[in-house]
Amino acid sequence: MEKSKSIITVVGKDQVGIIGRVCTYLYQMNVNIEDISQTIVSGYFNMMMIVDTSAAKKEFLAISQELEELGKEIGVQIKLQREDIFKSMQRI
């Protein structure tokens, strides 16, 4: 992969095991987690991970798709996005 840093966001109702299941999947894919933060916005659980996908076992788009499906299974929304979009919009 040419670009490494990406952002995973998980939004939904808080429940046991969300982080565990996402982290297990990332471990299986050999994606390194560099930072995790979380907050509650209007009653919803919001988690953000900064991850490095450069050594990942699958293509970016495949991981993105599988995370989305994992989200549906757990009942939360999971998104994988390249970090650039946030840097571009939020930094001068």
User: Is 13 a binder of another protein (CB under 8 A)?
Assistant: no
Q: How far is the CB of 38 from another protein (least distance, A)?
A: 7
- Other C-beta atoms within 10 Å of 28: how many? 11
Complete DSSP assignment for 43-68? TEEEEEEEEE-TT-SS-HHHHHHHHH
Return the residues of window 20-49 that contact another protein according to CB under 8 A: 35, 37-39, 41, 46, 48
Which residues form the interface with another protein (CB under 8 A)? 7, 9, 11, 35, 37-39, 41, 46, 48, 50, 60-61, 64, 79-90
